Homo-oligomer: A and B are copies of this chain.
Amino acid sequence: MATMNIQATLHTIGLFDGADAGFFDSMAAKARVIEAEKGQILFIHEDKAESFYLITRGWIKLFRETLDGAQAVVDILTTGHLFGETSLFQDDLYPYSAEAAEASQIIALPLSVLKEEIEKNPKLALTMLSAMARYRKQQDQELEHRILQNAPQRIGCFLLRLADQNKSGPVTIHLPYDKTLVASRLGMQPETFSRALGKLKDATGITVKGATIEMDSLEQLSQYSCMACSSEFPCKDLKSAKSV
């Protein structure tokens, strides 16, 4: 798909529901498709923000770095997710850095056009508010998990959110990216991840084969992980917070 239909892609973004045709026109006109190779940096924390991004293929890692070199992974997003759009209300500076975790395709879109549309279209402003609220809830949850859950519990919680939580009976889950990256996403070292996954296996009876994890039912996991969380088990809504 060398020449993808950008307009059609833009119409799939929930955030843009209720925007008018002119908006999609100028958005598409100024859109820029980027083929990013693994490790490519898209922007750096506190860069001046002129674009926001839609992922159309691959995985993008959002992170921050301290003066002394430590790194905190904010999130790892894939196809259909937006990022960088909240800079609109944030001094126009990116609140994190973005790097392609693998070869990826993304579309850069102008923040200016989005800003205009939000200012003149109340519907969009409301949609954006909901999106921000959802994102906020997600962040709250993330913070809580880092504080209250130990390493094995965080892994269990991560797996639960990869699965269809309404399904009962046997479940198979595939890790979406390599274990080192999952570890960083969960705020732990690869070695800790490996050992913690072992503990989780012992504690819940799940089966681990490479990147594939199987269990008789999700309950094994939820009982173990959700114990140390303030939300009750089906917490699916957190995962589906796309395009925020």
A130-B228 CB under 8 A given contacts A74-B140, A135-B136, A144-B72: no
- Please tell me if A86 contacts chain B, counting CB pairs below 8 Å: yes
**Binary B-proximity of A141-181 (CB < 8 A = 1, otherwise 0):** 01110111000000000000000000000000000000000
For residue A119, CB closer than 8 A to chain B, the reply is yes
* A interface secondary structure, majority: helix
Render A45-88 as a binary contact track against B, CB cut-off 8 A, 1 for contact. 10000000000000000001111101010100000000000101
Q: Is the CB of B133 within 8 A of A143?
A: no
By CB atoms of chain B within 10 A, which of A74, A95, A96 has the most?
A95
Interface magnitude class on chain A: 35 or more
- 1/0 per residue A106-139: CB within 8 Å of B? 0000000000001100100110111011111101
Nearest residue, chain B, Cβ from A45: B230
Q: List 30 A-B contacts (CB under 8 A).
A: A45-B230, A64-B140, A64-B144, A64-B230, A65-B230, A66-B148, A67-B229, A67-B230, A68-B227, A68-B228, A70-B148, A72-B143, A89-B129, A89-B132, A90-B137, A95-B140, A118-B126, A118-B129, A122-B122, A122-B125, A125-B125, A125-B126, A129-B129, A132-B132, A132-B136, A136-B136, A136-B139, A143-B143, A143-B146, A147-B187
